[in-house]
């Protein structure tokens, strides 16, 4: 029981019951998309669909970081001097910006590079390089890492 994806996901309370208070009201569409992605992620985990969970979790990471960085552009600008949000940036850029500007205030929220590598398992040439059980591991780790990010963001106060 303890090693099923369903059980792992049920332990991730910030995915199952997300607190999106870090999303400002004007970005309500972003919040809707994040909620939908998280709901689909929970559904995929309940069905033990490891590859779907891995990819959907990567998608949720991108949606959440995109929205959070967009919402906190002034926070970054105040520390950096100037900051222009690039909506076309890729997940690794968002991870890099987040780790650079928010770890000082959210030290437990550091996002490891493995998140981008697991999200890239969407490409068969990436997955084939890994051992056969990679999606099983990646799905569980992505759930835990995403839960950790959401937990930290729910505590964020600029």
Partner 1 sequence: MANLAQLNLRSKGDEGMLRALLEDLIEHFKSVYPSPPLHFPLALAVWFSKNPQSPEQSILALFEGTGKDGFVELKNLSLLWKTGRSEPPFANVYSTSVEYFARVLVQEPETLKNYIDNSEVLFFDKKFLPKPVLDAFGILTEPAGLLKGWYVSAFDYEKENTTGRLLSSRGNIRPEVGLVKTQESDDFEHCRGLLHVEVSQRWLPLSPGGITSYSYYSDFRNDQPGYFIFEGGSLYKILKFEVKTEPNYATLVLEAPRDGRYPEVYLRAVHPHLSA
Binding site for partner 1 (CB under 8 A): 2-3, 8, 79-84, 95-96, 99-100, 107-108, 110-114, 117, 129-133, 137, 140-141, 144-145, 148
- Please, which residue, 27 or 56, has the CB nearer to partner 1? 56
Of the candidates 76, 78, 82, the residue with the CA atom closest to the CA atom of residue 96: 76
- Please, which residue, 82 or 157, has the CB nearer to partner 1? 82
Q: How far is the CB of 28 from partner 1 (least distance, A)?
A: 30
Between helix 73-80 and helix 91-102 the angle, nearest 10°, is 60
- Please, which residue, 55 or 111, has the CB nearer to partner 1? 111
At CB < 8 A and 24+ separation, what contacts does 83-90 make? none
- Please, which residue, 52 or 147, has the CB nearer to partner 1? 147
b (16+ CB within 10 A) / e for 54-73: bbbbbbbbbbbbbbbbbbbe
Q: How far is the CB of 15 from partner 1 (least distance, A)?
A: 13
């Amino acid at each position: 029981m303890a090693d099923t994806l369903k059980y792992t996901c049920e332990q991730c309370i910030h995915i199952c019951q997300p607190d999106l208070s870090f999303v400002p009201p004007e970005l309500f569409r972003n919040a809707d998309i994040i909620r939908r992605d998280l709901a689909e992620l929970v559904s995929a985990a309940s069905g033990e669909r490891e590859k779907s969970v891995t990819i959907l979790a990567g998608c949720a990471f991108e949606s959440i970081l995109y929205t959070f960085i967009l919402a906190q552009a002034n926070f970054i600008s105040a520390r950096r001097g100037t900051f222009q949000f690039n909506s076309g940036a890729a997940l690794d850029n968002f991870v890099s910006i987040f780790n650079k500007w928010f770890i000082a205030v959210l030290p437990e929220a550091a996002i490891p590079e493995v998140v981008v590598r697991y999200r890239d398992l969407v490409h068969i040439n990436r997955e084939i390089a890994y051992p056969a059980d990679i999606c099983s591991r990646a799905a569980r780790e992505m759930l835990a890492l995403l839960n950790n990010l959401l937990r930290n963001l729910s505590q964020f106060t600029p």
